[in-house]
Every structure is written in C-alpha cells, then in structure tokens.
Amino acid sequence: MTSGEIEGWVRERGMEFYPMWPAMRGMFRGGEMFDGGDRQLFDGWAGMLGGLPVFGFQAAAGSDPDGPLYVVGVRLPGITFPGLTMMESGFDGEVPAVPIDPVFDLSWKVSARNPTFARDLVSRPMQAVLIDITPDFSQIWLERDAVLLSARGGVSATAVERYLQLLRRLVDTMPTRVLDALRTPKAPAPPPWPTPTRHPQFPPTVALPPVSGIGNEWGAWATRRGWMHYPSGREVAERMNRGPLPTGRHIDAFVGRFGELPCFGWRTITGTGEQSRIRQVLCIRRPGLDLNPVKVTLDDAMLTELVGSGDIEVGDPDFDSRWRVTSRSPESARAVLTPAVWKLMGEPFVPEFAQLWFEHDVAAVITDRAIGPDRVDEYLVFLHKLITRMGR
C-alpha cells in the first residue's frame, strides 16, 4: 500500500494522518516490533471505530532481517492488559505455551505470562472468531491498553479495514468480568507539587492519552500525537530549578517523547493587555546528564565592540563571534559546547530562538514570540540533534 493510498483511506474515514509518527516510536514492543530495534514509524493514522479509538502505522525494517511491519490497533481506555500473544500454530508438534482447547490449539498458539488470564480471555466466543480465519498476518497481541495486529509484506487498505474489524470483533468477545478486573482504578487527587529541588522531576511521559475532547489547539495537537496536555503549565515549568522564564503565567504544557527521548514544553505569558507577551519554551531531556546552567544567546556585534563581552569563549572563533555563552561554570559550558555542537549551531536549519538553555539533563530553547503547534517539531529536531551530540 502506497502512502497516497493509505492517506486517502484515512481521510475518507475522517481520521488523522501522520506522514511521520515519532511520538509513537518505542511505545509498543510486542508483535515482533522489538526485533527491529528503534524502528522509524510512518504513514500513521488514528481515529474511532465503533466507539473505540483505533490507530495504525508502518514500521520500517530497522535491524529486523524479515523487513518492515504494518501494525493496526484498537484501544480500550482505562484497561491495562497483561502481555499476551496469539499466532498461527506451527506444524512441528510444539506444545502451545498456554493450552486453551485441544481443537483450538491445533490452529492457534497462545503465549502469556499469566496462563489463567489467557484461558479466561480466550473464551469460547473468541475461539469461534479465530478458528474460522486463515491468518495472513503475523501476530495478535495485547500491550498497554491496546489490542494489536502486525502483518508482513504489502498490506492493502482493504486488508487494514479487515484487520480492524477482526480486532473489534475480538474486543466484543472479551468477558466483561475479565475487563473489569483489568481496569485501572482512579487514583486519588495528587498532593500539591513540592517545591522544586536542584534535580527537577517532570510529570511522567504517557504514550497513549485520554480520549476525552480537548478544548484548544495545543490540547488537540498533543492528543493527536499521543502526548499529555496540561492547560496550566505551572506544574511542568516549575520543575526547571533556575531555568528559563521563572516568572509569568505558564499555560499549555505538554509532555511526551520525541524519538527515544522525553520532551516537554509550555507557553509563558508576561504582562497584561496590550503589553502582554507570549513566549514558547521547548525542552528535551537526556537522562543521565547533570549539567550546571548554561545560557546561549545570539551576540550583538556592536555592543560587544563598544562594551566588550566578558563572556565564556569555547575555542571556536566563528562560534564565539556569533554566540554569547554565560554560565557560573566555564568548565560546564565548554563540556556542553563541543566541536560537534559548534558545527550543528552553524547549520542553516537551526530555528530562530531567543535563548538556548542547558540545565541538569535538559536542553531547552526559548522563543521571543508565540509559535503554533505546527512549528514544534522544527525545534525538537534541533534539540534532539543537539543533546545527542553533546560530548563529541
């Protein structure tokens, strides 16, 4: 199936289409997804079917010698499934990992860490659905709150439709008592966030968001990407100890993953009325780093000539002439701003920003004006390249 074919199929059904889907990378590891390592995901889509959220994507081969995978899934929000995999039985006489039924086991092999759960879930109605089909796909598996199917080779839009209908039928056969036992209990209201400490802790990354509607463009954008949205950004912003924009009203925070790294951001409003100003903060974390604060801004050549700089020089004439570097720790600044970073900062794709900030395990950019959600990836791509090249 070509990108154009799947996009047309998605649009016809009123779903969202994602030519590239970095937010979903690494979220699912079953169904042979793990075999390909960190696969690139593209031609992704998400929407609703029969009252439940559905999604799908093409996963590149990565390091998988058997090639790419196509994955479709149906979500059951509020459910947390134990691991379970179903695939066509082989003809080598291998005993199924979990015996379900003598006749069913001739056609299907079920693997699960919890045999009791597997037998409860794969009830007679589910067996009846599966026993009559000849699989042209690899596996069906449960992970997080989703029931997923993976297929190899060329997958047509007709096949995608058929796979979704199959998964929806399987969901309908799941015993209510089994699903009720898997529902995540509602947690009590969390206590107020503690005063930020030197090592900030950020809200946990949640790959699959609530399905309820979101009232503004940032919330809708975050939901489409599978990220969390916080209308009040204070709880996220305050976790930057001495970080950028310490004052103002913080709104529209988001938390997710970009590639393999956690990301987050928010908007800060300062002033009121006609004097109000909105700036955007975008951040990527690289767990394991512990950096002293370092600030990088564009230099003003005239001010430098008239007043002097007094700032930190990292040893590259071109970089030092273009950028102002300030930090209480010159050693930390030079450890961050290595030759690989000098080269990156000179590339033409570097987006415009007012300030670049490093603190603990975070790299952040701060814009001097508001930006829309459509520009976030431009900055996150830059930050991802930056923080992964530090130290080189």
Going by C-alpha positions, the residue among 131, 142, 20 that lies closest to residue 82 is 142
Instruction: Please report how the helices 157-173 and 3-12 are oriented relative to each other, as an axis angle in degrees rounded to 10.
Output: 50
Greater confidence (172 vs 61) lies with: 172
Q: How far apart are CA 156 and CA 151, in angstroms?
A: 11
Report field, pTM of the whole predicted structure over 0.85: no
Residue 315, C-beta contacts closer than 8 angstroms, at least 6 positions apart: 334
Position 290 scores a pLDDT of 83
Greater confidence (182 vs 321) lies with: 182
Structure tokens at 227: 């990220």
| Same domain for 138 and 248 | no
Parent domain of 329: 217-389
| Same domain for 248 and 170 | no
| Same domain for 359 and 264 | yes
| Same domain for 130 and 232 | no
Position 163 scores a pLDDT of 94
**Residue 127 in domain:** yes
Question: pLDDT class for 11, splitting at 50, 70, 90?
Answer: confident
Q: How far apart are CA 256 and CA 207, in angstroms?
A: 7
* Per-residue model confidence as pLDDT tens digits over 122-134: 999 999 999 888 8
Is residue 38 within 8 A of residue 78, CB to CB? The reply is: no
Indicate if the pLDDT at residue 202 is higher than 60: no
**Residue 74 in domain:** yes
Compute the average pLDDT of residues 177-182: 92
Greater confidence (34 vs 383) lies with: 383
**Residue 232 in domain:** yes
Last residue of a domain, one of 182, 199, 228: 182
Is residue 71 within 8 A of residue 57, CB to CB? The reply is: yes
Last residue of a domain, one of 159, 182, 205: 182
| Same domain for 161 and 27 | yes
Lowest pLDDT segment from 135-149, 159-173, 194-208, 223-237:
194-208
Position 283 scores a pLDDT of 92
Position 213 scores a pLDDT of 36
Mean pLDDT value across the chain: 80
Residue 43, C-beta contacts closer than 8 angstroms, at least 6 positions apart: 3, 6, 7, 17, 18, 19, 57, 58
**Residue 350 in domain:** yes
